[in-house]
Amino acid sequence: MIRILLVDDHILVREALRVVLELNGGMQVIAEADDGETALRMAEELVPDVVVMDVALLGISGIETTRRMLTKQPNIKVLALSTHLDRGIIQQMIDAGACGYIVKAAAGVELKRGIRSVMEGRFYLCPEVTALLVANTLRGRSSPSAEKSGNQSLTFRERQVVTLLAGGKSAPELADLLHISSRTVDVHRRNILKKLDLHNVVDLTKYAIRTGLILL
């Protein structure tokens, strides 16, 4: 059972999310909070598996709440929610340590999918955010970064793999899209992590966004 803390300052939103998440079992909303301070206290007392975090909270923002929460409890998975598809907010939530980002208009099935993904150790972005990343990357917008030169060591295929992994694609999905085997995907992933001195796909996604390999 995946234990979830819901953080949103609108009670109707929390009620709707609770119904969706607890439908068909496998997930349990163990507590709700309507502000950052309460969320921090509940996270410390209850130690949930996943915190669904509204970005725009009254008082302490969801961004700052996420940062403080993960400083004390780094094993908690935070999945961000927002009413807006805003590049700056997405970047700030990722920098704060969130493992994924979903716009509220896409909540429901996407939220359940996102929770399962982050519990499996993957980064999750809803389709709307992924589309934004891909569109900006295809436009070739530049992003200054001291680490950007590290991307030069990646082959063209490895860059493709990074973009798809960072967009939340699983290994089987990535294999289908690139017409390669899942084993080859695993080899690429291991090589990429080794080249960039990273530990997992979440770190890889943050690196890719930070360095401009994929662009917000």
As for how many domains the chain has, the answer is 2
The answer to whether residues 99 and 167 belong to one domain is no
Query: Which of 125, 127, 23 lies closest to 80 in space, CA to CA?
Result: 125
The answer to whether residues 95 and 146 belong to one domain is no
Question: Residue range 161-167: average pLDDT?
Answer: 79
At residue 142, the pLDDT reads 43
The burial of 124, by beta-carbon neighbours within 10 Å (0-12 exposed, 13-18 middle, 19 or more buried), is given as: buried
Question: Residue range 60-89: average pLDDT?
Answer: 92
Which range of 115-119, 135-139, 142-146, 176-180 scores highest in mean pLDDT? It is 115-119
Please report whether residue 7 resides in a domain.
yes
The answer to whether residues 12 and 114 belong to one domain is yes
Higher pLDDT, 56 or 159: 56
Q: Which domain holds residue 156?
A: 133-211
* pLDDT tops 80 at residue 140: no
Which range of 129-138, 161-170, 175-184 scores highest in mean pLDDT? It is 175-184
* pLDDT tops 90 at residue 157: no
Please report whether residue 126 resides in a domain.
no
- Helix then strand then coil, in percent of the chain rounded to 5, is 55, 15, 30
The pTM assigned to this predicted structure is: 0.71
Q: What is the CATH number of the domain that holds 140?
A: 1.10.10.10
- Write down which residue in 121, 148, 166 finishes a domain: 121
Lowest mean pLDDT among 35-49, 132-146, 184-198, 200-214: 132-146
- Write down which residue in 91, 121, 151 finishes a domain: 121
